[in-house]
Amino acid sequence: MKNVQYEMFDLPEIAIIGKEGLCTKEKNTAQDLWRQANSDFREIADLGMKNADGSFVGFWGAMSDETLSFLPWTDDFSRGLYLAGVEVYEDTPVPDGWVKWVMPARKYLVTEVHSESYRELFEYVIKSLIPELGLRLAGAVCDFTEPATGQNKLFFPVEC
């Protein structure tokens, strides 16, 4: 996995409204949460942040430890909370049946990812790239899809 392309971003707080669930080694509910969020998306479509061209800013597979402290997942990165949703303004009201998270401002190492190499890339960045750069993982990794391009990215919160 050498030569992984990455960028560093400082992001402000990010608010996301979506469907929340617990993922474990025994049952990764992320795909089920995306199915729920997509099937009910019309309920929150008007709340999503949009670019000037009318496209959504982004869809997040946000992750946190079980205490909602936005720390890395436990049990070898297999157990934690997952929120499948759309980026919104922080003061956006939360409709019934939905959950809003406000993720803290952080520095992120960002890589493009494809589903067939997700696990390999995730492990390489955590175990090799981040340490090689003299950084440490500072929180839970998040998935991001940019609707305008369809690109999927992983956001690794890092610090020195």
153 band by pLDDT with thresholds 50, 70 and 90: very high
CA 41 from centroid of its chain's CA atoms: 18
Residue 140's pLDDT is what? 96
Q: pLDDT for 76-110, tens place per residue?
A: 999 999 999 999 999 999 999 999 999 999 999 99
Give the H/E segment covering residue 30: helix 30-39
59/61 Cα distance (integer angstroms): 7
Percent of the chain surpassing pLDDT 70: 99
- Whether residue 1 has pLDDT greater than 80: no
State both tokens at 61.
């597979």
The reported pTM is 0.95
Query: 3-state DSSP call for residue 146?
Result: strand
Checking if the pLDDT of 29 tops 80, the result is yes
Confidence at residue 64, expressed as pLDDT on a 0 to 100 scale: 97
- The pLDDT mean for the chain works out to 96
Which residues is 78 bridged to in the sheet? none
CA distances from 116 to 37, 79, 110, 113, 155 (A): 23, 21, 18, 9, 17
pLDDT surpasses 90 at 30: yes
**Partners of 155 in the β-ladder:** 110, 142
Rounded average pLDDT over 42-46: 97
What's the distance, CA 32 to chain centroid? Answer: 16
Helices (H), 89-148: 118-124, 130-132
Print burial letters for 111-148: b (CB count within 10 Å at least 16), e (below 16). Answer: bebeeeeeeebbebbbeebbeeeebebbbbbbbbbbee
